[in-house]
């Protein structure tokens, strides 16, 4: 199972005061979606499903694509969006000239080819303005986080080539199918950096039991591999076998210590014309047991996030 990606840092320089909400991912993701459609949409249609160009439209592929017909994943209809925006850290909400505003963007699979569109959209968004005051900014720099190379700067206005990175989980999967020896028990701490929204049993859960975390993580990685990665139909039976074994092992891992709490926040959706609650779990939890085989998957989740609303930056965690 291989999933390609690139991670970038976008550095913005305000030319006017920019006022953002406490969770900045809401504004960045919402404003980006509106601007992206304005940049790439040829026919300016409200309903993309009725557009003749939807099959070739980059906006449709990234924001509106749905699973068609039968697929081996069952009743999956909504395709996970192939990007994650990680908002700036810190509690500052007001940014002015002389300061910088920095956020990260992860592109997944084929979406890595569309980085010029993402850069151009954030350039246009700077001219349009963001936040309550519609503050304008200049896109100063875009940096490839893995090589630390500047791929775009406002001064040069040239886009450098980027080498695509790949996460290969094949070896870790084989370890669940053909285990050699039992791993020693160990402790593992997961700290939620942004709210983690996980549905289990039709309800959002505030208890991050290890098997619930792993179920959701493996499902997200499977969906990204199927829709955006190097999906191989002949490998799918292997995937099903490893998945059963992994869940069985995850159910044996116990929670040693949990300091978790539910954090609620709201955003207004221009698309749905209503306020949306996007609460999730924050804090940390320490697990104890045979956790070592899950480390490669959890490290992948550090990049791709977990749970719902990952495009807003939710579901970010780090391993301690």
Residue-range domains of the chain with CATH: 2-165 (no CATH), 171-319 (3.30.70.1900)
Q: Of all residues in the chain, what percent carry a pLDDT higher than 70?
A: 94
Q: How confident is the model at residue 165 (pLDDT cuts 50, 70, 90)?
A: very high
- Which three-class secondary structure string do you get for the chain? CEEEEEEEEEEEEECCCEECCCCCHHHHHHHHHHHHHHHHCCCCCCCHHHCCCHHHCHHHHHHHCECCCCCCCCCCCECCCCEEEECCCCCCCEECCCCCEEEEEEEEHHHHHHHHHHHHHHHHHHHHCECCCCECEEEEEEEECCCCEEEEECCCCCCCCCCCEEEECHHHHHHHHCCCCCCCCEEEEEEEEEEECCEECCEECCCCCHHHHHHHHHHHHHHHHHHHCCCCHHHHHHHHHHHHHHHHHHCCCEEEEEEEEEECCEEEECCCCEEEECCEEEEEEEEEECCHHHHHHHHHHHHHCCCCCHHHCCCCEEEC
The residue that leads in pLDDT, 11 or 62, is 11
| Residue range 123-143: mean pLDDT, rounded | 94
**Mind listing the pLDDT tens digit for each residue in 244-291?**
999 999 999 999 999 999 998 776 666 656 677 778 999 999 999 999
The residue that leads in pLDDT, 203 or 73, is 203
**Mind listing the pLDDT tens digit for each residue in 97-118?**
999 999 999 999 999 999 999 9
Q: Is the pLDDT of residue 63 over 80?
A: yes
**Mind listing the pLDDT tens digit for each residue in 180-234?**
777 789 999 999 999 999 999 888 999 899 999 999 999 999 999 988 988 887 7
């Amino acid at each position: 199972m291989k999933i390609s990606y690139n991670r970038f840092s976008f550095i913005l320089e305000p030319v006017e005061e920019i006022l953002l909400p406490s969770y900045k991912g809401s504004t960045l993701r919402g404003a980006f979606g509106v601007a992206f459609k304005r940049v790439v949409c040829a026919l300016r249609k409200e309903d993309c499903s009725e557009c003749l160009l939807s099959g070739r439209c980059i906006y449709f592929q990234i924001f509106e694509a749905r699973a068609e017909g039968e697929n081996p994943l069952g009743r999956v209809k909504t395709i996970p969006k192939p990007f994650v925006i990680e908002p700036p850290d810190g509690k500052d909400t007001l940014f002015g000239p002389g300061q910088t505003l920095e956020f990260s963007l992860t592109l997944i699979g084929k979406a890595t080819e569309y980085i010029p569109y993402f850069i151009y959209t954030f350039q246009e968004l700077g001219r349009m303005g963001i936040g309550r005051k519609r503050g304008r900014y200049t896109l100063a720099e875009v940096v490839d986080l893995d090589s630390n190379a500047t791929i775009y700067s406002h001064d040069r206005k040239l886009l450098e080539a980027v080498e695509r990175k790949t996460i290969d989980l094949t070896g870790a999967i084989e370890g669940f199918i053909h285990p050699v020896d039992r791993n020693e028990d160990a402790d593992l701490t997961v700290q939620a950096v942004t709210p983690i929204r996980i549905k289990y049993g039709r309800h959002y859960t505030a208890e991050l039991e290890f098997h619930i975390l792993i179920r959701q993580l493996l499902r997200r990685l499977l969906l990204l591999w199927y829709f955006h990665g190097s999906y191989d139909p002949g490998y799918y039976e292997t995937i099903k076998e490893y998945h059963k074994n992994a869940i069985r092992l995850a159910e044996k891992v116990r929670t040693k210590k949990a300091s978790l709490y539910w954090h609620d926040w709201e955003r207004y959706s221009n698309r749905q014309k209503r306020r949306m609650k996007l609460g999730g779990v924050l804090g940390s939890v320490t697990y104890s047991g045979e956790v070592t085989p899950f480390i490669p998957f959890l490290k992948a989740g550090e990049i791709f996030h977990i749970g719902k609303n990952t495009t807003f930056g939710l579901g970010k965690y780090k391993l301690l």
